[in-house]
């Protein structure tokens, strides 16, 4: 199969979809890999490393997209890339369609076949391609939240670890999944008082056991969330409904009740965000204020740590990319239920239930498609 790896075009997105080791693996299996020149520069990977691994370099995105049967990306195509979409193309990347009607309609109109990293799910409900980026985003969530709390950045001036005789920062994490737990552990490591709110008693019990009680857990209801948020210095939203739009758990009224200079970090912004006042920001302008509270809602947080993220992503996606290349998307999905769950669109039809519900679009049956 002819595989293309273009340079990411999202604001300050320094990741690349494939490492040289990934190129080597695919080339050894008989596939052709074309990498756009400079695609790996932001992750510290030189063009020469790709060439040494067996890749062909292409000067522009047009050639990479035009020659490829499968495109490997990190982030969803932006409007500037919609012109590259076509009927005979297989796209393998993060899509987050439930929060993006424009992209969904473009993929459907161009009759692209696309498998979304974030909805590839194993039989136990695990998300193997989302997990590594969720972990990184969670760890970053605590870091950027602590930074936003600094007075020169408009924050309240609270140090998460406190000081002798002075209270520690109060951190509330909404969602105890991969991202939420990673955020909680880093915040606790900074010395903060941390509470994770979730609706899964088994998961809360697990967090309590893994942290020895240093991270508190609390059942999430609207009333309890309102009370916890009002007393928080930093709120980290890490709620996930796979493939669907994220519920908005923190209302504008809750934000108004917070102390001035408090910070809200919305890790769930790719799926629409879990704060009512959330809107997507960029690494160029990561924060904004609402009623004197600071919001951070960057849609590609792991792009800021591009070296770590690129290698972690390839480690997770490579086996699936190889399966798609070796067998073709249809046979690969027939042979692996996890990949079949990741099929988002094909030939003008939508296959992700959460996206259909969020955008009020007709849903097709993947089982009927695959026979």
Residues in the chain: 371
Residue 223 class from Cβ within 10 Å (0-12 exposed, 13-18 middle, 19+ buried)? exposed
Known catalytic membership, residue 270: yes
Q: Is 96 a catalytic residue?
A: yes
Options 233, 266, 270, 277, the catalytic residue:
270
User: Long-range contacts: 192-195, Cβ < 8 Å, 24+?
Assistant: 192/160, 192/161, 192/168, 192/234, 193/167, 193/168, 193/169, 195/170, 195/171, 195/228
The Cα angle at residue 115 between residues 76 and 128, in degrees rounded to 5:
95
- Residue 33 makes CB contacts below 8 A (sequence gap 6+) with 3, 4, 5, 18, 23, 26, 27, 54, 55, 56
Q: Which residues contact 20 (CB under 8 A, 6 or more apart)?
A: 40, 45, 49, 50, 52, 53, 55
Nearest to 12 by CA among 304, 328, 226: 304
- Which of these, 366, 355, 363, lies nearest to 96 by C-alpha position? 355
* Catalytic, out of 96, 198, 233, 277: 96
Which residue numbers are catalytic? 96, 270
């Amino acid at each position: 199969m002819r595989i293309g790896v273009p340079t990411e075009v999202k604001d300050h997105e320094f990741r690349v979809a494939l490492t040289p080791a990934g190129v080597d693996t695919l080339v050894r299996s008989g596939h052709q890999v074309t990498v756009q020149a400079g695609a790996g520069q932001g992750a510290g990977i030189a063009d020469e490393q790709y060439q040494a691994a067996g890749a062909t370099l292409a000067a522009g995105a047009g050639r990479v997209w035009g020659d490829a049967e499968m495109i490997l990306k990190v982030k969803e195509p932006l409007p500037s890339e919609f012109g590259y979409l076509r009927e005979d193309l297989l796209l393998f990347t993060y899509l987050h369609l439930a929060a993006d009607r424009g992209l969904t309609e473009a993929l459907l109109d161009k009759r692209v076949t696309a498998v979304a990293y974030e909805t590839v799910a194993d039989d136990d409900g695990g998300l193997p391609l989302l997990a590594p980026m969720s972990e990184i985003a969670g760890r970053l969530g605590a870091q950027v939240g602590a930074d936003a709390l600094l007075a020169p950045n408009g924050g309240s001036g609270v140090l998460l670890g406190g000081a002798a005789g002075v209270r520690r920062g109060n951190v509330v994490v909404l969602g105890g999944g991969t991202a939420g737990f990673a955020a909680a552990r880093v915040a606790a490591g900074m010395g903060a008082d941390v509470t994770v709110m979730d609706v899964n008693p088994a998961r809360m019990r697990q967090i309590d056991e893994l942290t020895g009680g240093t991270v508190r857990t609390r059942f999430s209801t609207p009333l309890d969330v309102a009370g916890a948020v009002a007393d928080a210095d930093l709120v980290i939203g890490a709620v996930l409904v796979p493939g669907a739009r994220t519920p908005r758990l923190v209302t504008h009224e809750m934000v108004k009740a917070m102390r001035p200079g408090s910070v809200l970090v919305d890790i769930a912004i790719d799926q629409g965000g879990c704060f009512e006042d959330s809107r997507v920001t960029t690494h160029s302008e990561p924060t904004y204020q609402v009623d004197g509270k600071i919001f951070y809602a960057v849609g590609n947080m792991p792009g800021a740590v591009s070296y770590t993220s690129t290698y972690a992503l390839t480690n997770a996606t490579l086996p699936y990319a190889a399966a798609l290349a070796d067998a073709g998307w249809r046979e690969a999905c027939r042979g692996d239920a996890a990949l079949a769950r990741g099929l988002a669109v094909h030939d003008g039809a939508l296959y992700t239930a959460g996206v259909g519900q969020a955008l009020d679009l007709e849903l097709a049956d993947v089982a009927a498609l695959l026979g």
